[in-house]
């Protein structure tokens, strides 16, 4: 009799190491982003104050970064804009 495979339970909260692996970046990059308040939202959990990330917020932050990138968002791609005309040049004094 075969055992049924156990369902995989994905954690809702990830520590720094797991979050970095999930995002495909280094732990150091994640620490630098946290220090500069640039990266995904994080918080401290528990009496030890471990830095944690919510998986759903990581996904939302990554999606937001993708939308802000001109290579994946045609509306932001400068090659899709009509060229602008320059004004007349000013003469040097």
pLDDT tens, position by position, for the chain (93 residues)? 677 777 656 789 999 999 999 999 999 999 999 999 999 999 998 888 999 999 999 999 999 988 887 676 677 666 777 777 777 777 776
The per-residue DSSP string of 47-66 comes to TTTEEEEEHHHHHHHHHHHH
End-to-end CA distance of the chain: 92
The neighbour count for residue 23, using CB atoms within 10 Å, is: 18
Q: Is 53 helix (H, G, I), strand (E, B) or coil?
A: strand
Q: 16 and 55 in contact (C-beta within 8 Å)?
A: no
């Amino acid at each position: 009799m075969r055992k049924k495979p156990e369902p995989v339970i994905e954690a809702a909260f990830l520590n720094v190491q797991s979050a970095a692996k999930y995002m495909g970046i280094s732990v150091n990059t994640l620490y630098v982003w946290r220090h500069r308040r640039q990266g995904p939202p994080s918080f401290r959990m528990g009496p030890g104050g471990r830095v944690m990330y919510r998986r759903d917020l990581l996904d939302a932050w990554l999606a937001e970064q993708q939308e802000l990138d001109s290579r994946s968002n045609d509306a932001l791609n400068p090659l899709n804009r009509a060229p602008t005309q320059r004004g007349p040049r000013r003469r040097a004094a």
